[in-house]
Structure 1
Amino acid sequence: MEIKNEAFAEPDILGPNTALTNKNLLGYGIGAFGIMSLWILGSTMLTYYYTEIVGISAGLVGTIIFLSRIFDGISDVAMGYVVDNTRSKHGKARPWLLWLAVPFSISGILVFSVPDIGTTGQVVYAVITNLLFILMYTGIRIPYNALIALMSNDSQERGMMSIYQMVPGFTAGMVVSIAFIPLFNMLGGTRISWFLLVLILSVMAGSFIYVTFRSTKERVGSHNESDVKTKVSFITGLKVLLGNKFWVLIFLVGLLMSALNAMSSAGGLYYALYVFGDVNLIALIGAATSLPVLVSLFFIAPLVKKFGKRNAALGGAFLGIIGGIIKIVDPSNLVIYMTGSVLQTIGTVPVLGIGIALLADTIEYGEWKTGIRTEGLATSGGMFADKLGNGLGTAIVGWTLALGGYVAGAAEQSESVI
Structure 2
Amino acid sequence: MEHSNSSENVTKSTSLSKSMKLPVFEKVAYSFTDLAGNLLYVTISTFIMYFYTDVAKISVASAGLILLVARIFDGISAPIWGSIVDHTHTKWGQSRPYFLWLAIPFAVAVFIAFLAPEFSESGKVWYAGITYVLAAGIIYTGIQTPITAILPNLTTDRTERVNANSFRMIGGLVGSILTSTFCLPLVALFGKGNDKVGFMWTLGIFGAIAVILLFTAFANVHERTQVNRAVPIKDSLKATVGNHPWYILVTAFVIFWISQADRMTMSIYYAKYNLGNEQLTSVFQVMQVVGIIGTMLIPFFVKITNKTKTMMIGLAVATFGQAMMSFVGSSFVLVIIAWGIGVFGSSVAIAMPFAMLADTVDYGEWKTGIRASGFLTAVGSAFCIQVGSGLGSFIPSKIMSAAGFVANKAQSATSLNAIHFSFIWLPIIVYVVVAAIMFFYLKYEKMEPTIKAELDSRRLSNDN
TM-score w.r.t. length of structure 2: 0.82
Alignment equivalent of 2:156, drawn from 153, 165, 171: 153
SS at match of 2:413: coil
SS of 2:239 mapped into structure 1: helix
Aligned to 1:355: 353
Q: Cα deviations across residues 320-372 of structure 1 (Å, max 9, x unaligned)?
A: 22223233346755345334322222112222222211110111111111111
| Contact 1:13–1:218 (8 Å) recurs in 2 | no
User: Would the aligned equivalents of 2:35 and 2:171 in 1 still touch at CA under 8 Å?
Assistant: yes
Q: Where does the alignment leave 5 or more consecutive residues of structure 1 unmatched? A: 1-11
Match of 2:223 in 1: 218
Native 8 Å contact 1:242 1:248 kept in 2: no
Q: In structure 1, the residue corresponding to 2:406 is in which secondary structure? A: coil
Question: 1:398 and 1:333, CA in 2 relative to 1: closer, same or farther beyond 3 A?
Answer: farther
- Asked if the contact 2:115–2:200 (Cα under 8 Å) also holds between the matched residues in 1, the reply is yes
Q: 1:41 aligns with which of 32, 40, 43?
A: 43
Aligned to 1:327: 325
1:27 paired with 2:29, answer yes
SS at match of 1:328: helix
Q: Which residue of 2 aligns with 1:304?
A: 302
Answering whether residue 185 of structure 2 is matched by residue 182 of structure 1, we say yes
Identify which range, 241-250 or 191-200, moves more after superposition: 241-250
Residue-pair matches, total = 399
Out of 177-186 and 262-271, give the one that drifted further: 177-186
Which AA in structure 2 matches 1:352? I
- CA distance 1:53–1:313, change in 2 (3 Å): same
CA distance in 2, matches of 1:349, 1:267: 18
The CA distance in 1 between the partners of 2:180 and 2:340, in whole Å, is 14
In structure 2, the partner of 1:89 is: 91
1:41-190 superposed matches below 5 A: 41-133=43-135, 134-187=137-190, 188-190=192-194
Q: Distance in 2 between matches of 1:185 and 1:396?
A: 29
Aligned to 1:248: 247
For the residues of structure 2 that align with 1:242 and 1:268, how far apart are their CA atoms?
40
1:366 and 1:372 in contact (8 A); partners too: yes
Q: 1:203 is aligned with what amino acid? A: A
Of 356-365 and 344-353, more deviation after overlay is shown by 344-353
How many Å separate the matches in 1 of 2:183 and 2:87? 39
| 1:221 alignment partner AA | Q
Deviation string 1:223-271 (CA, Å, 9 cap, x unpaired) is 4xxx35xx2333x423432521111111122122211121111111011
Deviation at 1:76, TM superposition (A): 0.4
Change in 2 beyond 3 A, CA 1:331/1:156: same
- Distance, in Å, in 1 between the alignment partners of 2:241 and 2:341 is 33
Who is 1:370 aligned against?
A: 368
**Counterpart mapping for 1:195-274 below 5 A:** 195-223=200-228, 227-228=229-230, 231-234=231-234, 236-274=235-273
Q: Give CA-to-partner distance per residue, 1:376-414, whole Å, 9 cap, x none.
A: 11111122112211111111222222111122233x122
| Of 169-178 and 72-81, the range deviating more from structure 2 | 169-178
Instruction: Compute the RMSD of aligned alpha carbons.
Output: 1.9
Unmatched tracts of structure 2, length 5 or more: 1-11, 417-464
Deviation at 1:13, TM superposition (A): 8.1
Alpha-carbon separation, structure 2, partners of 1:57 and 1:333: 31
Q: Which SS does the other structure have where 2:415 is aligned?
A: coil
Q: Secondary structure at the match of 2:18?
A: coil
Matched residue type, 2:88: T
Distance 1:171 1:136 in 2: 21
Contact 1:13/1:91 (CA < 8 Å) preserved in 2?
no
Quote how far apart the aligned CAs of 1:136 are. 0.5
- In structure 2, the CA distance between the partners of 1:220 and 1:168, relative to structure 1 (3 Å rule), is same
2:456 corresponds to: none
- Residue 387 in 1 paired to residue 386 in 2? yes
User: How far apart in 1 are the matches of 2:300 and 2:200?
Assistant: 42
The secondary structure found in structure 2 opposite 1:417 is helix
Is 2:315 the partner of 1:317? Answer: yes
| 2:340 matched residue in structure 1 | 342
Could you say what secondary structure the match of 2:270 adopts?
helix
Contact map agreement 1:59 1:399 (CA 8 A) in 2: yes
The structural deviation recorded for 1:17 is: 4.3
Report the secondary structure of 1:372's partner residue.
coil
Whole-Å separation in 1 of the counterparts to 2:240 and 2:222? 26
Q: Deviations over 1:15-62 (max 9, x none)?
A: 424542223212111121111110000011100111111110000000
Equivalent residue letter for 2:216: V
Q: Say yes or no: does 1:281 pair with 2:285.
A: no
Matched residue type, 1:263 = D
SS in 1 for 2:407: coil
TM-score, normalised with respect to structure 1: 0.91
Judge conservation of contact 1:13–1:90 (CA < 8 Å) in 2. Answer: no
Verify the 8 A CA contact 1:43 1:266 in the aligned structure 2. Answer: yes
**Which residue in 2 is equivalent to 1:7?**
none
Q: CA separation in 2, counterparts of 1:256 and 1:316?
A: 15
Per-residue displacement from partner, 1:137-191 (whole Å, max 9, x unpaired)? Answer: 0011101111101111110111111011011110111122222212322331321
The share of aligned pairs that are identical, in percent, is 28
Pair 1:22–1:336, CA change in 2 (3 A): closer
Structure 1 stretch displaced more, 82-91 or 121-130: 82-91
Partner Cα distance (2:185, 2:326) in 1: 27
